[in-house]
């Protein structure tokens, strides 16, 4: 009987303190893990194609595409983290120790915050391109865009280290048994994080994109009435700018659908357990969002389809960066 109970534990030699493994419905667990690993590999591969495309071809390194590159980097890291969790977080057991648990959790929240920051920057970029097209090339340059991206990533790292300072000091404080990986913050910090990472960014994105499409529709209506044919007048946005706004609007919409459920445990006053099946769906949904972004680029961006073809056929090795 003791050996049977030991076989159901994450660490059989710790009979009194070890967590229990999830052995119920083993085929379902195997299928779920396999699907997660497949989506993780697909997410990493697709976003790697975006990274290579924009990094290699200098012609594609516009301020708008640099923001897409930053988003692709965070999505690529999401795929890597999801892949690692699929391999190492098995049977509801964490086998890598508390230090790796802390690193895994902090990396998760940093990537999440960086994705939020990228979405806000993309919304600001589209707002300026559509609502103020005359000053956009002067105010939004590649150099300023790179600085904004770096500040966004640095801010994400510093912010999450501050929010999770108590967790980083004692990652094992909220574990009920050995072999568990629990991320938890107090109620005050939880509400601050909920507002700063979800409410404020989403409200900003919605307001900016509402204004973008309102201005775009108004300009299109004005052009139809006045029959303005010349693009040099400065009233209408360029067709490429409007198409970019629509494309990135789809990306933002997918983000708004997939991201908020991740914060539901905070609203319920619960801790987030990295190996808890009750929150696994919201985490998988967040991971799946990173897989959908490159698919949107394939559907809307001809340059991405062409660059992917060059990469997959290895013609990129014979193609100059310009």
Percent of the chain topping pLDDT 70: 73
CB of 140 within 8 A of CB of 125?
Answer: yes
CB of 66 within 8 A of CB of 93?
Answer: no
Sequence-distant (≥ 6) Cβ neighbours of residue 139 within 8 angstroms: 128, 132
pLDDT higher than threshold 70 for residue 216: yes
The architecture that CATH gives domain 38-224+231-318 is Up-down Bundle (1.20)
Residue 99, CB-side half-sphere exposure with 13 Å CA sphere = 0
> For residue 235, what pLDDT is reported?
46
Q: Which has more pLDDT, 65 or 185? A: 65
Tell me how many helices (H) and strands (E) the chain has.
13, 4
183 vs 53, 69, 217, 286, CA distance in Å?
36, 29, 45, 17
Model confidence at 316, pLDDT cuts 50, 70, 90, reads confident
Question: What is the SS3 assignment for 280?
Answer: helix
Mean pLDDT of 153-177: 82
> For residue 119, what pLDDT is reported?
86
182 vs 40, 41, 172, CA distance in Å?
22, 25, 8
pLDDT single digits (tens) 21-38: 765 556 666 777 777 788
> For residue 131, what pLDDT is reported?
83
Predicted TM-score (pTM) of the model is: 0.81
> For residue 25, what pLDDT is reported?
53
Residue 250 phi, psi (nearest 5):
-65, -40
pLDDT higher than threshold 80 for residue 296: yes
pLDDT higher than threshold 80 for residue 115: yes
Which of 277, 304, 300, 93 is closest to 179 using CA atoms?
Answer: 93
What is the end-to-end Cα distance of the chain in Å, rounded?
69
Sequence-distant (≥ 6) Cβ neighbours of residue 280 within 8 angstroms: none
pLDDT higher than threshold 50 for residue 2: no
Name residue 273's beta-bridge partners: 182
247 vs 107, 187, 250, CA distance in Å?
28, 37, 5
CB of 180 within 8 A of CB of 273?
Answer: yes
Sequence-distant (≥ 6) Cβ neighbours of residue 188 within 8 angstroms: none
């Amino acid at each position: 009987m003791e050996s049977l109970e030991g076989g159901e534990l994450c660490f059989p030699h710790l009979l009194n303190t070890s967590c229990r493994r999830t052995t119920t419905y083993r085929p379902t667990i195997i299928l779920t893990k396999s699907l997660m690993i497949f989506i993780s590999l697909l997410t990493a591969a697709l976003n790697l194609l975006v990274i290579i495309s924009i990094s290699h071809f200098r012609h594609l390194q516009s301020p708008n595409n640099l923001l897409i590159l930053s988003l692709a980097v965070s999505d690529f890291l999401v795929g890597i983290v999801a892949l690692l969790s699929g391999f190492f977080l098995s049977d509801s057991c964490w086998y890598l120790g508390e230090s790796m648990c802390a690193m895994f959790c902090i990396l998760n929240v940093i990537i999440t915050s960086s994705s939020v920051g990228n979405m806000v920057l993309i919304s600001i970029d589209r707002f300026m391109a559509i609502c103020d097209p005359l000053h956009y090339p002067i105010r939004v340059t590649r150099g300023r865009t790179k600085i904004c991206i770096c500040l966004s990533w640095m801010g994400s790292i510093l912010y999450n280290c501050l929010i999770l300072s108590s967790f980083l000091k004692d990652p094992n404080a909220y574990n009920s048994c050995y072999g568990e990986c629990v991320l938890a913050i107090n109620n005050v910090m939880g509400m601050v994080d909920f507002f700063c990472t979800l409410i404020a960014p989403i409200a900003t994105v919605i307001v900016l994109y509402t204004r973008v499409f309102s201005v775009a529709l108004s300009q299109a209506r004005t052009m139809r009435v006045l029959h303005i044919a010349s693009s040099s007048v400065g009233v209408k946005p360029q067709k490429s700018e409007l198409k970019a706004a629509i494309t990135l609007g789809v990306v933002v919409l997918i983000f708004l659908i997939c991201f908020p459920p991740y914060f539901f445990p905070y609203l319920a006053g619960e801790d987030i357990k990295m190996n808890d099946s009750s929150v696994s769906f919201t985490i998988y949904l967040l991971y799946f969002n990173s897989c959908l972004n490159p698919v949107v680029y394939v559907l809307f961006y001809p340059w991405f389809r062409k660059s992917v073809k060059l990469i997959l056929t290895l013609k990129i090795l014979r193609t100059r960066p310009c």
